[in-house]
Chain A
Amino acid sequence: MKLTPFVCAFISGQIMLSVSWACTTMVITPGASADGSMYITHSNDGYTGDTSVVYVPAADHKKGEMRLVYPSACAREAYPDFNCDYTPRLNVKGRGPDYSFEGVPITDPIGEIPQVEHTYAYLDSNYGIVNEHGLMLGECTDNSRRIRYLRPDAGTGLFYSSELGRVALERCTKAREAVELMGSLIDEYGLWGTAETLLVGDKEEAYVLEMMPNPSGKGGFWVAQKVPDGEFLIAANQFRIRLLDENNPDQIFSDHLIDDLRTIGWLVKDKKSGKVDWLKSIQTIEHLHPYYSLRRVWRAMDLVAPSKKFQPWVEGYDTTAYPFSVKPDRKLLLDDIMALHRDYYQDTEFDFARKETGGLFDFPYCFSSYNKERVISTTAISYIWINQFNDRMPAPVSWLALTSPADSVYVPLPVAPISELYSRVDRKNYNGDKFYWVVSAVGTLTRAYYSILSPLVKETSKALEKKSQELVAESLHLSKDEFNKVLLDNARDNFKEWQRLYHRLVLKMDYDNVKYAKRHRPANTAPTSYKQVN
C-alpha cells in the first residue's frame, strides 16, 4: 500500500483541473506531406501554461561538468519546494539569457547527470521544440489508471518528459539516436510525473516514445515505435502503441520491459495474439471522460483519410478502431496541417457553434463543462507549433501560433534568439510588446463575436501564412544565418500586422455591423403594441 503520495497529489491537483493534461500532437512523415518535409506538431493546451518561447544557445562544457535536471510545473502543478512555478518556468544559469530573471527565486534542481562536451542550440517552451540540427519534438500527457501522477520527491525518478526531451535536443541530431538516449536515461534515472508521449523526428524518421513512471522510482516503462514513412499519426492524451513485438524492427523497448511489467502486476496480453498490449498494460484511459482523446484521434484521421470511413463511436478506451498511423488519402500541405490543429469539429454532429453553446454569434467552443466534447483548437491552448524540416531547407523552422490557432496566426520561427517578441512573457501581466498579448487581444475579442469577427481573422491569418510560406520558399538558397534573419524580420512584420488586425476588429465592432448569427437570432422581446404582455 504505497498510496499516500499520490493521494495527496491528487487532492491538491484537482483544484487546477484545467491545467495541462491536454495536448494534441501529430507526425506527418515526409512521404505523407506534399513537400516531402517531416512535420512534428504539438499544441500546449492549458490555461496556466507559460506562453514564452525561449532560445537556448549552444554551449561547450568542461570535462566533469554536470547537467542539472529541473522540475517542470507543466507536469501538473507548481513545486514551491523547488521554487518551480508555471511562469517563469525556469530561472536558472546555463540555459541562455531568457531563462534568467531578477526578483524571482532560482529554481532548484531535482538532480543531475553528467554533461556532454557540446550542447546544441534549441527552441524551448514548456517542452522542448526543435534544435538547430532539425531534431524535432512533440508531446502529450497521458492518463494511466495504474498511477495517475507521482510528485518529484525523494524516491521518485529524476526525469519528466519535459527535461528528458531537452536533453535529447541538447545532444542528438537523429530521431533514433534521441529515442535510444531517452530510453537509456529513463532506465538509469527513472521518471516522475504522469504517463507521457514524446514525438521525436528528424527530417527522415519519426518515433513515438511512450513512457510511464515506475512507482519504485527506479527506471521506468517505455516503448518507442517508428511512424512508417508515408503515414500520419496523431496522439491526444492517450498512448497509441498497442501490441509489443520484439521482432518488429519499428519498435524499440528494453529487453527487461516485459519482465518489469509482469513483476509490478500490470502485464496485460492480447487474448487473440498473446502479445503484450502496451496500452492496456499501462491502462492509459482517456482523461476526464470518454472521447476526450479518441474524438480528436477520430477527427484528425477522418480528415486526412476520409476513404477509411473511421467512425466516431467506439466500444471503449482500448478500441482498435483507429490504427497507430494512417496513410492520408492525398499528401498533406502545410495548410492542411495548420487546419487540423484549427479544427473544432465544424460541420460534424459535435460542432458547438450550431447548438445552444454557439450563443448569439456561433461560438465554436464550450467553456467549463466536465463532460463536453473536447475540440482540437480549444480555448485553453497556450501555443501550438508545427516543426518543419527537409533536405532543401538551410535550417529547421517551427511554425508557431500563440493561443487557439483558429483565432491566431502561424509564424515560422528560426532556431535563433527571438526574445523581443516571444520570450519573457507573463500571461498575468500585460506587455503590449509581446506577440502573445496582441494575439490575446485579437482572440478574446473574436471569440466574443465569432460570426462577426472570425472571418476577418481567418482571412488575415491565411494571407499572412501564405506570405510566410512564399518567403520560406524564396529563401531556401540562403545560408542558415541569412535564412534565420529573414524569418525574424518576417515575425516582426506579422506582429505588426496582427496589431493592425486588432484595430480593424475594433472598427468592425461598430454597432451597425454587429448582427446576430443567423441560426442564433434570439427572440425579440421589444413590445409591438401598448398592451401589457406580462
Chain B
Amino acid sequence: MNISHLGKIFTFLAASVIFTNEALSGTLVLATKGATEDNSVFLAYSVDKKADPNLRYVEAKDHDVEALREIYFDSDPKQAFLGTIPEAAHTFAYLDSEYGLINEKGLMAAVSEAYTQRNVKTKYSSYYKAIFCPKELIKVALERCVTALDAATLITRLIDEYGLYGKPVSVVFADRNEAYLVEMMPTPSGRGGFYAVRRVPDGEVFVTADQFRIQDLKKEDPDFIISSRVETTLREAGYTVLAPRGNINWLRSVKGVEKKPYYSMRRVWRVLSLVAPSQELPAWVSGYEDKTYPFSIRPDKPLALTDIMEIMRDTYTGTSFDNATKATGGLFASPYTYEDYGERSISTGKTTYTFIGQLNENLITPVIWVSLGASGESAFVPLTVDAVPDTFSGVSREEYDESKMWWISNNISHLTRGYYSALSDLVRMAILEQEQRSITLIKHSESLPLERFKNVIRNNVNVSYNRTRKLFERVLEVHDGGYMLKYAEGHLPNFTPVDHYHKPAPKAPAEKKTVQSKPLVTSGIPFMNAVSQKQEKNDEDLLREEFFRRFSKDMNEAEKNQSPKN
C-alpha cells in the first residue's frame, strides 16, 4: 500500500457512511430458456433508487502474467484502495451501470437487495479484512466468466478468500442455458461471507424483490451448491435455524426479513400470479418466512419479451393493491406514489433504469433492453455490448441536457404522472409502438454479420431518441394547457357549485371519502391504469344537459321578447 492509497482511505472514511446507506431496491425477474416463446433467456431488473443513469462500456483487455487487479471501496477508484487480487490474462468487454450488466460472451448479471435482522455490519469499517462488495464481485465475474455456473463459483470463492462487506444482496447470473442465484451477506467478523447458491430450473420463472428467496438448503437437490464453510460460519455465529429434514433454513438463519410487510412479497406474488394465474396464489401470507410462494414457477404459457416488459411496468392494475384507485391516485389516478406511500409496486417513480438482458441461439451478440426512468413512460431500447451511444452516456443528474435520453424520458414521465388518466394511454401506445419497431428490426437483422448488426442497433438508438423527443412535444400539444382535460373516473373532486345568487347555507363538512378500489378487473386494455368506479355522470354530460336546459329556457324568453304582444 503506498502513500496515496493511505490518503484515499482517509477521505473515504468520511464518505463511507453516506455511500453504503444508499438502499438499492429493485425487482429482478428471470425467465429461463424453457419458459419463453423463442427460447430466449430474459434477465430483467430495475434499479429503483437515485442512481447514476449512465451506461458505460468497459473494453476487453489483455494483462501481464504478474498483473494485479486493484480493489477499491464501492468499486470506485476515486475511493479508498482496499487490496489486490491476481489479474486474469484476458478480461472480457462488458456494459456497466450502477452494477455490471452483461459481457460480450453473453454472461448477464442482475441484482436485488435484501434485508437482514442479524447484527451484521453493513457499513464498511477499516478493521474489516473484507475487500469485496457485491458491485465489485459482479464486475470481476463479467470480466472473467462465460457461464453462470463459473460466475457463481468464482464470486463465492472470492467471498471465501477475501471477505464480503456491504448490504445483503441477491445476484442472478445467466448465460444462454443456465441461471444461478447467489444470495449473500457479510459475516459479523468481516471474514468470508454468508451465501447460498441455487440454480433456477429450466422452464421456470424466478423473481426476487428486495428479499432473499432461498429457503431450505436441500442437500439432496443438485440445484443447490452448498458450502460447508458457510454452514460452519452460520453455526459459529449461532444463526443456524434447521428445517425439518435436518437441512438449514437459509432465510430464517440469516433472518432475511422484508423491509416492511409485503414490500417484497407483494411483488413476488404479483409476478408469479401474472405468469401462472392458474396457481391462484394468495396475496396474503403469515410472515416474511412464509413458504407459500414457490422459489420459481412454470408459466401457464411461454413468455415473450413484451410480457417481461409488461411485468416490469406493473403497478398492480386491476388488483386491490393499485395505488391509482386510492387517495394516492390524486385527481388523475396516477399509480405512482411519493414518499413511499401505499403498496410497493413493481414500476415506481423512483426507478433510475430497468434492464432486460436477452440471450438466445439466434442472436449474434447479446442484447440488453434499457428503459430510463419510470418504465411505464419510457421505452425499452435495445443496446449491444459496444460503445455506449451519446444519448445514453455523459449524463449528469444535476444538469439538464436535452440531448440525453435520460432527460427526455424524465420530461415525459413527470408530465404523464401529473395528468395520468389523461396522458398515459397516449404515452403508452407510443412506447409500445416504438418497442415493437425495435423487436421487428432485431428479428429482421438476426442474420447480419456482427458489425452490421451493431450498426442497426446504433441507428435504432438514434431513432428511439428522436421519437422520444417527438413524443414529449406531442404530449405538450395534446395537453394544450388542460384543454378538455378531465379528472379520472372515481377521482372527481367535490366542489361547491355556484348555481344560485344566494350564498349557500353552511353545511357540516362532509366526511372525506376514501376512494375504494373495485374488485379485480382482469379484462380490458392491460395498461388502462385509471380503473375505478364509474361516476354517475361525467362533467361533460352535466355541462351538456345544463346547456340544453338553459338553451330551451333562453329560447322561450327570446321568443317572448321578440314577438310583440298582439
Nearest residue (CB) in A for B328 is A522
> Which chain A positions have C-beta within 8 A of B389?
none
> Which chain A positions have C-beta within 8 A of B338?
511, 514-516
CB distance from B349 to the nearest CB of A (A): 6
Q: Give the residue of A265, A366, A445 whose beta carbon is less than 8 angstroms from that of B495.
A: A366
A-B contact count (CB 8 A): 222
A527 and B498 contacting across the interface, CB-CB below 8 Å: no
A448 and B414 contacting across the interface, CB-CB below 8 Å: yes
B410 and A509 contacting across the interface, CB-CB below 8 Å: yes
The docked-state distance in angstroms from the alpha carbon of A407 to that of B525 is 35
Interface size for A (C-beta < 8 A) is 86
> Which chain A positions have C-beta within 8 A of B477?
427-430
Q: Which of A18, A514, A529, A531 gathers most chain B CB within 10 Å?
A: A514
CB distance from B251 to the nearest CB of A (A): 15
The docked-state distance in angstroms from the alpha carbon of A534 to that of B325 is 14
> Which chain B positions have C-beta within 8 A of A502?
400
CB distance from A499 to the nearest CB of B (A): 10
A522 and B542 contacting across the interface, CB-CB below 8 Å: no
CB contact under 8 A between A265 and B341, given known A17-B543, A371-B497:
no
* A525 in contact (CB, < 8 A): yes
CB contact under 8 A between A145 and B262, given known A366-B495, A511-B349, A526-B340:
no
The docked-state distance in angstroms from the alpha carbon of A367 to that of B493 is 10
Q: Chain B, 266-285, contact with A by CB distance < 8 Å: what is the 0/1 string?
A: 10000000000000000011
The docked-state distance in angstroms from the alpha carbon of A74 to that of B477 is 20
CB contact under 8 A between A530 and B284, given known A448-B419, A523-B327:
yes
The docked-state distance in angstroms from the alpha carbon of A440 to that of B284 is 46
- The segment from B210-218, B229-237, B376-384, B483-491 found at the interface with A is B483-491
B-contacting residues, A41-85, CB 8 Å: 47-48
> Which chain A positions have C-beta within 8 A of B480?
47, 427-428
Q: Give the residue of B339, B398, B486 whose beta carbon is less than 8 angstroms from that of A368.
A: B486
> Which chain A positions have C-beta within 8 A of B328?
360, 522-525
* A380 in contact (CB, < 8 A): yes
* B17 in contact (CB, < 8 A): no
The docked-state distance in angstroms from the alpha carbon of A368 to that of B400 is 34
* A210 in contact (CB, < 8 A): no
A3 and B558 contacting across the interface, CB-CB below 8 Å: yes
* B191 in contact (CB, < 8 A): no
A367 and B486 contacting across the interface, CB-CB below 8 Å: yes
Describe A's contact surface by its main secondary structure: loop
CB contact under 8 A between A449 and B562, given known A355-B495, A510-B397:
no
B400 and A503 contacting across the interface, CB-CB below 8 Å: yes
- The segment from A111-119, A309-317, A472-480, A481-489 found at the interface with B is A309-317
A379 and B498 contacting across the interface, CB-CB below 8 Å: no
Q: Chain A, 401-442, contact with B by CB distance < 8 Å: what is the 0/1 string?
A: 001100000000000000000000001111010000100110
The docked-state distance in angstroms from the alpha carbon of A1 to that of B559 is 7
CB contact under 8 A between A291 and B287, given known A3-B562, A47-B481, A522-B328:
no
A526 and B479 contacting across the interface, CB-CB below 8 Å: no
The docked-state distance in angstroms from the alpha carbon of A289 to that of B497 is 10
Nearest residue (CB) in A for B547 is A14
* A364 in contact (CB, < 8 A): no
The docked-state distance in angstroms from the alpha carbon of A447 to that of B6 is 51
A443 and B481 contacting across the interface, CB-CB below 8 Å: yes
* A253 in contact (CB, < 8 A): no
The docked-state distance in angstroms from the alpha carbon of A147 to that of B399 is 57
A48 and B483 contacting across the interface, CB-CB below 8 Å: yes
* B343 in contact (CB, < 8 A): yes
> Which chain B positions have C-beta within 8 A of A356?
493-495, 512
CB contact under 8 A between A2 and B418, given known A370-B542, A524-B341:
no
CB distance from A379 to the nearest CB of B (A): 4
The docked-state distance in angstroms from the alpha carbon of A315 to that of B501 is 6
B543 and A529 contacting across the interface, CB-CB below 8 Å: no
* A512 in contact (CB, < 8 A): yes
> Which chain A positions have C-beta within 8 A of B539?
367-370
The docked-state distance in angstroms from the alpha carbon of A266 to that of B539 is 35
* B326 in contact (CB, < 8 A): yes
Q: Which of B290, B320, B485, B493 gathers most chain A CB within 10 Å?
A: B493
Q: Give the residue of B285, B407, B495 whose beta carbon is less than 8 angstroms from that of A530.
A: B285
B559 and A3 contacting across the interface, CB-CB below 8 Å: yes
The docked-state distance in angstroms from the alpha carbon of A14 to that of B543 is 10
A437 and B476 contacting across the interface, CB-CB below 8 Å: yes
* B514 in contact (CB, < 8 A): yes
Q: Give the residue of A18, A148, A357, A507 whose beta carbon is less than 8 angstroms from that of B398.
A: A507
* B411 in contact (CB, < 8 A): yes
The docked-state distance in angstroms from the alpha carbon of A157 to that of B267 is 69
> Which chain B positions have C-beta within 8 A of A429?
477
B50 and A368 contacting across the interface, CB-CB below 8 Å: no
* A21 in contact (CB, < 8 A): no
CB distance from A449 to the nearest CB of B (A): 6
A506 and B481 contacting across the interface, CB-CB below 8 Å: no
A-contacting residues, B495-523, CB 8 Å: 495-503, 512, 514
A47 and B482 contacting across the interface, CB-CB below 8 Å: yes
CB distance from A367 to the nearest CB of B (A): 5
> Which chain B positions have C-beta within 8 A of A99?
none
Q: Give the residue of B327, B481, B495, B502 whose beta carbon is less than 8 angstroms from that of A522.
A: B327
* A385 in contact (CB, < 8 A): no
B555 and A380 contacting across the interface, CB-CB below 8 Å: no
B-contacting residues, A207-229, CB 8 Å: none
A440 and B551 contacting across the interface, CB-CB below 8 Å: no
* B566 in contact (CB, < 8 A): no
CB contact under 8 A between A444 and B500, given known A437-B476, A515-B339, A534-B320:
no
B499 and A290 contacting across the interface, CB-CB below 8 Å: yes
* A352 in contact (CB, < 8 A): yes
B487 and A367 contacting across the interface, CB-CB below 8 Å: yes
CB distance from A425 to the nearest CB of B (A): 12
A-contacting residues, B218-260, CB 8 Å: 260
Nearest residue (CB) in B for A452 is B338
* B564 in contact (CB, < 8 A): yes
> Which chain B positions have C-beta within 8 A of A365?
482
* B540 in contact (CB, < 8 A): yes
> Which chain A positions have C-beta within 8 A of B390?
none
The docked-state distance in angstroms from the alpha carbon of A233 to that of B330 is 39
* A142 in contact (CB, < 8 A): no
A449 and B418 contacting across the interface, CB-CB below 8 Å: yes
* A247 in contact (CB, < 8 A): no
CB contact under 8 A between A368 and B501, given known A448-B419, A525-B342, A530-B284:
no
Q: Chain A, 274-314, contact with B by CB distance < 8 Å: what is the 0/1 string?
A: 00000000000000011110010000000000000000011
* B119 in contact (CB, < 8 A): no
Q: Give the residue of B327, B479, B557, B559 whose beta carbon is less than 8 angstroms from that of A145.
A: B557
> Which chain B positions have C-beta within 8 A of A273?
none
B493 and A526 contacting across the interface, CB-CB below 8 Å: no
Nearest residue (CB) in A for B540 is A368
CB distance from B288 to the nearest CB of A (A): 8
* B344 in contact (CB, < 8 A): yes
CB contact under 8 A between A447 and B50, given known A357-B495, A524-B341:
no
CB distance from A20 to the nearest CB of B (A): 13
> Which chain B positions have C-beta within 8 A of A148?
554
10 additional A-B residue pairs with CB within 8 Å, beyond A355-B494, A359-B493: A265-B562, A289-B499, A291-B501, A313-B503, A444-B479, A447-B482, A511-B349, A514-B338, A516-B339, A530-B286
What would 20 A/B residue contacts be, using CB atoms closer than 8 Å?
Answer: A290-B500, A292-B498, A315-B501, A357-B494, A360-B331, A368-B485, A440-B476, A441-B411, A447-B418, A448-B417, A448-B419, A504-B400, A512-B50, A516-B339, A516-B341, A526-B260, A526-B342, A527-B261, A528-B261, A530-B287
Q: Which residues of A contact B (CB under 8 A)?
A: 1-3, 7, 10, 14, 17-18, 47-48, 145-148, 265-266, 289-292, 295, 313-317, 352, 355-361, 363, 365-373, 379-380, 403-404, 427-430, 432, 437, 440-441, 443-445, 447-449, 502-504, 506-507, 509-512, 514-516, 522-532, 534
Counting from the closest, the 7 A-B pairs by CB-CB distance are A448-B418, A503-B400, A522-B327, A356-B493, A430-B473, A47-B483, A532-B284
